């Protein structure tokens, strides 16, 4: 039994604490081939005004290629643009692919920072291992981000809460239809400027708990950040949307009883006794950097956080009895979002509270944007 306050670091958290070389040093690993025709001032100004997730991309992207026998090579910053890919490329047939999601933040003094890049680098390699893909040196992963963000610094927006969203991705680019791990992989990082995810403040979302679909099973790929997990979550997501819900929450595949996570966000439950509970990392849940940061922030405030199995039926009872006062979801893109309604085949419940959710949101966004102290050294300076 734990007191909910002591913190034993996970392997990812420990890897994430690793000291990194300065950004200007790792950035040198990527040779810059400048865009001959970057976005016009008008196109750039429009993108920076709209700050719509994925609506516009910065001028460049990072790229590297891995070939069997040779390892990683051709590390470059190149113009953002379409790829040339054989129709036989293995990723198109067997889905050997992993990705990450990160952000670069501009602080008031103009400096640019990112959040726990060594954590994402370690998770990228953990995902790569599960998907039978090559490891990428942490310095290459962070170097790609540093070089890209330095080159496209003007795409990092200024308003509080906005950022340049970074999407590293690796996929099997070998043209071969045999079923085996590919002998060529392409690594890319692209960037899109984004504003506050929820423009009208923290508007609570409604969640449908699916009992007829699962996103991951024991021994499967649930702990890896791989596209197939997302593809499999789309149909239940659409069905939930048709029924009027914003998002789906998945249950464990073995017993179909325990809360796992949303398609792309981890979940937390706030109890009336002041403690907080989040599903334990059972191997089928993605270990979110935001999840880990929130657990740390809460424990250091003296809030006990328990990583447990959460039975859906018990959770519903506790909400009815007022013993659960808040729920929220978290991930890099939206940071923190309150869950205002939770429904499944057997119940449909309102969860009115947002106080803890809001305070966690404010502290985390404050750290990321340089307005709150960062005692954990989570920020890494890029420029």
Ligand X SMILES: *Cc1c(COP(=O)(O)O)cnc(C)c1O
288 part of the interface to ligand X, by CB under 6 A: yes
**Using CB under 6 A, which of 246, 260, 261, 318 touches ligand X?**
261
Nearer to ligand X, 65 or 333 (CB): 333
Q: Is 201 left (phi over 0), alpha (psi -120 to 50) or beta?
A: left
Nearer to ligand X, 21 or 101 (CB): 101
Nearer to ligand X, 150 or 225 (CB): 225
101 part of the interface to ligand X, by CB under 6 A: yes
Q: Minimum distance between the CB of residue 52 and ligand X, rounded to whole angstroms? A: 19
Nearer to ligand X, 204 or 331 (CB): 331
Q: Minimum distance between the CB of residue 333 and ligand X, rounded to whole angstroms? A: 7
286 part of the interface to ligand X, by CB under 6 A: yes
Q: Minimum distance between the CB of residue 257 and ligand X, rounded to whole angstroms? A: 20
264 part of the interface to ligand X, by CB under 6 A: yes
266 part of the interface to ligand X, by CB under 6 A: yes
16 part of the interface to ligand X, by CB under 6 A: no
Nearer to ligand X, 75 or 338 (CB): 338
316-345 footprint of ligand X as x/- string (CB under 6 A): ---------------xx-------------
117 part of the interface to ligand X, by CB under 6 A: no
265 part of the interface to ligand X, by CB under 6 A: yes
**Using CB under 6 A, which of 192, 206, 247, 290 touches ligand X?**
290
Nearer to ligand X, 164 or 286 (CB): 286
Which span (24-32, 51-59, 136-144, 283-291) binds ligand X, by CB under 6 A? 283-291
**Using CB under 6 A, which of 225, 246, 295, 382 touches ligand X?**
225
Binding residues for ligand X, per CB under 6 A? 101, 225, 261, 264-266, 286, 288-291, 331-332
């Amino acid at each position: 039994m734990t007191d909910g306050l002591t913190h034993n670091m996970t392997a990812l958290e420990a890897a994430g604490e690793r000291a990194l070389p300065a950004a200007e040093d790792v950035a040198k690993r990527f040779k810059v081939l400048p865009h001959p025709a970057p976005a016009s001032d008008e196109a750039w100004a429009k993108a920076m005004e709209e700050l719509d997730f994925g609506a516009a991309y910065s001028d460049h992207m990072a790229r590297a290629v891995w070939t069997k026998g040779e390892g990683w090579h051709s590390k470059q910053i190149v113009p953002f643009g379409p790829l040339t890919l054989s129709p036989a490329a293995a990723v198109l047939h067997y889905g050997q692919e992993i990705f990450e999601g990160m952000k670069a933040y501009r602080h008031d003094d103009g400096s640019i920072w990112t959040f726990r890049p060594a954590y994402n680098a370690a998770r990228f390699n953990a995902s790569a291992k599960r998907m039978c893909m090559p490891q990428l040196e942490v310095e290459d992963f962070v170097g790609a981000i540093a070089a890209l963000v330095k080159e496209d610094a003007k795409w990092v927006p200024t308003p509080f809460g906005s950022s340049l969203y970074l999407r590293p991705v690796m996929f099997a680019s070998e043209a071969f239809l045999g079923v085996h791990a590919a002998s060529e992989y392409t690594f890319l990082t692209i960037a899109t400027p984004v504003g506050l995810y929820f423009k009208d403040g923290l508007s609570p979302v409604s969640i449908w708990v699916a009992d007829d679909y699962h996103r991951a099973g024991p021994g499967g790929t649930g702990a890896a950040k791989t596209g197939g997990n997302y593809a499999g979550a789309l149909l239940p997501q659409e069905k939930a949307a048709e029924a009027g819900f914003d998002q789906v929450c998945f249950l464990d595949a073995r017993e179909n009883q325990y809360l796992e996570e949303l398609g792309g966000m981890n979940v937390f439950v706030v109890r009336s006794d002041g403690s907080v509970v989040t599903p334990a990392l059972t191997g089928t849940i993605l270990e979110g950097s935001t999840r880990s940061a929130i657990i740390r922030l809460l424990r250091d405030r003296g809030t006990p956080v328990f990583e447990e199995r959460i039975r859906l039926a018990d959770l519903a009872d506790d909400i009815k009895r007022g013993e659960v006062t808040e729920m929220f979801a978290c991930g890099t893109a939206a940071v923190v979002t309150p869950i205002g309604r939770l429904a499944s085949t057997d119940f449909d419940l309102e969860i009115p509270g947002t106080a803890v959710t809001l305070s966690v949101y404010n502290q985390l966004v404050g750290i990321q944007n340089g307005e709150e102290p960062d005692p954990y050294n989570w920020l890494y300076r890029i420029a």
